[in-house]
Amino acid sequence: MQEEWTEKYRPKSLSQVMGNDYAVRSMRSWAESWSKGKPRYKAMVLRGEPGTGKTSSALALANDFGWDVVEMNASDHRNADSIKRVAGLGAISQTLTLDGEFRSTVQGKRKLIILDEADNLFGREDYGGAKAIVEVIRESSQPVILIVNDYYELTRKASALKTLSDKAIFRRLDDRTVVAVLARIAKAEGVTLGQPSLEKIADNAGGDLRAAVNDLQMLVEGRTEVLAEHTSVLSERNQEAQLGDSLRAMFGAKTAKEAQDATMDLDKLPEELEKWVEESIPSEMKDPRDLAAAFEAISRADIYLRRSRKLQHYGMWAYARTMMTAGVALSRKYGARPNVGEYGFPSHFMVMSRAKGANAARESLRAKLSPQFHTSGKEFSEAVLPALVTLARRERGILLKLAVDAELDDGDVAYLLGSEPGSADVEAVMAKARAGKGEDDSGRAAKARPRSRGRSLGDF
């Protein structure tokens, strides 16, 4: 598996961090204060939007000063016990490295405690988490870095952090800085990119360097040159990101108007939006009472949608949209909102896609085999095909004969076997069918062979 470029090209030193020079200087000054005795602040908060270099800068700082790292993600270890166990022990212990070697803090051999996503503390499962972070900092004999996207959310839950920690603000990078980083990575990978392509990637990322590097790696996959037209795929990723942001804003809305406005700019029909919202409800609502109320709202939206189609009265779309947005979002009464990373693709669309594939396969088999069995298409579908499926799965010889004589394709064979096209079972049958028809694996005619005197379809 190819290494992720965000890791491969992560800066190893603060001197390699691009942009945010003031924040970097603040971090270095804070770290140096630990070597001068008791520092004024035991902790530093790195605040800013995702992709601005907070985590990379923290790791680079530890590398510059020769500090070991104890890293934990607040969304994985969210309650007080977990935070005290993981971060607390690391912060208090000052005699052992991660590999057990004795080192003295007098000599500056320290461990940097990094709490990533420290602002993501929500709900009952996180009870005491913010308080535990404050206790860890107060008792720590080691430097602590808190990484947050929303500083105000963190200090709302733990106001003591305002006086216990220093702060460094990371801002989104300008496009010129992002282009410079991308150009350097492309050169290191031996890939040719024109300036328009680099600028398109940078513009699409909107100052998020991590997203820009991920986009670059995605575009380069299997290429040695990236042309301007290759960047058109980025617009699709943009639409997915916009949809996720809109859903996140909708579920977090406090008023009906906020919930409705959150999805107003989406290029989705009401039926499509309804399925996305429906799929996201179990991720957003955890209390059973909230779940029941949210699904009641989405069901009412579905009623309006059905009536609008049946009566051709599309003014009802407005009622449907209100129920699927405001009705769902304001259903939250009892449970706290969880931290949702990404929203899943609606299973309804996947089921419908598979159903269309099955319908196409049945139609293909009906057209190819009903003449062979001297039946109408309807009779073949209702009476012959079910029996044929049973026979084909029990007797591979019959299936192979069908594939050869009726020139079935892999979709037809997959349907008869109940497998997916491209599966090992389907490929094995198709390979034998090609051999039986005198073709090689590529489908080209092979050396002529004597025709078998075996039975034809009419014998079955």
Average confidence score pLDDT of the chain: 78
335 pLDDT higher than 80: yes
Please tell me whether residues 21 and 68 are part of one structural domain.
yes
Please tell me whether residues 60 and 197 are part of one structural domain.
no
Please list, residue by residue across 190-227, b when 16 or more beta carbons sit within 10 angstroms of its beta carbon and e when fewer do: ebebeeebbbbbbebbbbbbbbbbbbbbebbeeeeebe
Is there a domain that residue 397 lies in?
yes
CA distances from 237 to 176, 206, 211, 243, 247 (A): 22, 13, 11, 10, 16
Confidence class of residue 2 from pLDDT cuts 50, 70 and 90? low
> For residues 76 and 252, which has the higher predicted lDDT (pLDDT)?
252
151 pLDDT higher than 90: no
Report how far Cα 56 is from the mean position of its chain's Cα atoms: 21
Please tell me whether residues 47 and 184 are part of one structural domain.
no
Q: Tell me the sheet residues that pair with 79.
A: none
Is there a domain that residue 140 lies in?
yes
Total domains in the chain come to 4
* Domain range for 357: 348-459
Is there a domain that residue 247 lies in?
no
Q: What is the pLDDT of residues 426-454, one digit of tens each?
A: 888 888 887 776 654 444 444 444 444 44
**pLDDT at residue 238 in the model:** 55
Q: Tell me the sheet residues that pair with 212.
A: none
- Structural element, H or E, at residue 285: none
Beta sheet of 68-73, edge-to-edge order = 68-73, 111-116, 144-148, 43-48, 165-170
Is there a domain that residue 414 lies in?
yes
DSSP H helices in 71-174: 80-83, 89-92, 129-139, 151-157, 161-164
Confidence class of residue 369 from pLDDT cuts 50, 70 and 90? confident
Sort strands 68-73 and 165-170 into parallel, antiparallel or unpaired: unpaired
Please tell me whether residues 193 and 309 are part of one structural domain.
no
Dist. CA 238–CA 114, nearest whole Å: 31
DSSP E strand stretches across 74-160: 111-116, 144-148
Residue type, 378: K
> For residues 173 and 342, which has the higher predicted lDDT (pLDDT)?
173
What's the pTM?
0.51
